[in-house]
Amino acid sequence: MWPNGKKCAVVLTFDFDAESLFVEGQPIETVTPAKLSQGEYGARVGVPRILPWLKREELPATFFIPGVTAEKYPHLAERIMAQGLEIAHHGYTHAEPFSMTPADEREDLEKGIEALQKLTGKKPLGYRAPSWAPSHQTLPLLDEYGFLYDASLLGDERPYVAAGTKGLIEIPSDWCLDDAPHYFFNFSPRYRTGLSAPSKVMEIWKAEFDGIYADGGCYVLAMHPQISGRSHRLQALDEVVRYIRQHDVWFATMEEVALYWLQTQLSGRGN
Ligand SMILES: [Zn+2]
C-alpha cells in the first residue's frame, strides 16, 4: 500500500493559526486581549518549541497557515520552510468557508494563495478549511485552482478522491486525532471538554494508530502550535511518536502522501 512496503502512512500536521483563530477577519477591537494572546502563544512559544523537536526527531510535517498569519509572522514561516517542511493553505482570515458567500470564499481562497506564494515562491498544493468547516463549493473550488489535495473531511482512514471533483485527493483525519477537542479550553464560546490529561489523549492516539496501522491506512494527527506547543503536550506527542516508531511506518508530509496516492493507487499500480 505504501512506499517500500511500509504498512501505514503517518502525517503530523500543525494548523498555525496564531491570533487568526479568534479574529477571523472581524475588527480586532471585538476580541479580548486575552484571547488574542492565546493565539499569539502559538507564534511566541508553540512554533519555536515544535520546530527543534521535529528537527531533532528528523520528522517531516505539514503546517497549514492562514494568509494573515503568514503575513504577520513571515520569519516563522521561513523557518518552517528552511527546515524542509510543507506549508499549505488554511484560509486567508481563518473565517469558516461554510459561513461565507460564494464570492467571499473565492476571494479569501485567492488572497490565501497569494500570501503563501509571496512567501514560499510557489502555489500551495494543499488546503485545510479553517475549523474543518468547508462549504459545499470548497472542494470544486480547490479543483478549479489546481490544488492537489484537501484535508478538511473525515470520511475514511485512507486517501480518496473527493466527490464532485475531477481528482482532488482527500486526506481525511478525525476529531479524535485533533488536539483541539482534547485540550483546547475557552469560556466563551464554550469549547467542549478541554484541558484533558495527556495520558487520556495518548491512550486514544495510540489505540487509533493501532487500528489504522492494522488496516494499512493513513494516520493524520491534526494539531495546533498554540495547543500542542505547551510542554506537557509536546512530551505526550513525543511519546506517541516513539510508540509509532516501533512499527513499520512511513512518516511523510501531506503533499508526499497525496502525490504517492495519485501516482500509485489511482493509476492502478497499487493494491
Ligand atoms: Zn485553524
Residue stretches of the chain with pLDDT short of 50 = 269-271
Over residues 58-90, the pLDDT tens digits come to 999 999 999 999 999 999 999 999 999 999 999
CA of 181 to the centre of ligand 1 (A): 13
CA of 36 to the centre of ligand 1 (A): 14
Annotate 201-246 with DSSP letters as a single string.
HHHHHHHHHHHHHHTT-EEEEEE-HHHHTSHHHHHHHHHHHHHHHT
CA of 108 to the centre of ligand 1 (A): 14
CA of 39 to the centre of ligand 1 (A): 10
- What CA–CA distances, in Å, run from 63 to 85, 99, 131, 165, 192? 7, 24, 15, 24, 24
CA of 268 to the centre of ligand 1 (A): 34
CA of 5 to the centre of ligand 1 (A): 33
CA of 184 to the centre of ligand 1 (A): 12
Give residue 25's pLDDT. Answer: 82
- From CA 31, how far away is CA 54, in angstroms rounded? 32
Q: Indicate the SS3 state at residue 5.
A: helix
User: Do 91 and 97 touch, CB atoms closer than 8 A?
Assistant: yes
Give residue 194's pLDDT. Answer: 80
CA of 24 to the centre of ligand 1 (A): 10
Helix (H) or strand (E) holding 149: strand 149-150
Cis before 189? omega within 30: yes
Q: Indicate the SS3 state at residue 189.
A: coil
DSSP state of 168: P
Give residue 128's pLDDT. Answer: 98
- From CA 29, how far away is CA 221, in angstroms rounded? 33
Q: What is the 3-state secondary structure (H, E, C) of 34-101?
A: HHHHHHHHHHHHHHHHHHHHHHHCCCCCEEEECHHHHHHCHHHHHHHHHCCCEEEECCCCCCCHHHCC
Amino acid making up residue 10: V
CA of 269 to the centre of ligand 1 (A): 35
Give residue 235's pLDDT. Answer: 97
Query: The C-alpha cell of 177 is what?
Result: 486525532
CA of 128 to the centre of ligand 1 (A): 8
CA of 180 to the centre of ligand 1 (A): 10
Give residue 271's pLDDT. Answer: 38
Say if strands 62-65 and 8-15 run parallel, antiparallel, or are unpaired: parallel
CA of 15 to the centre of ligand 1 (A): 5
Give residue 270's pLDDT. Answer: 42
Chain center to CA of 153? 12
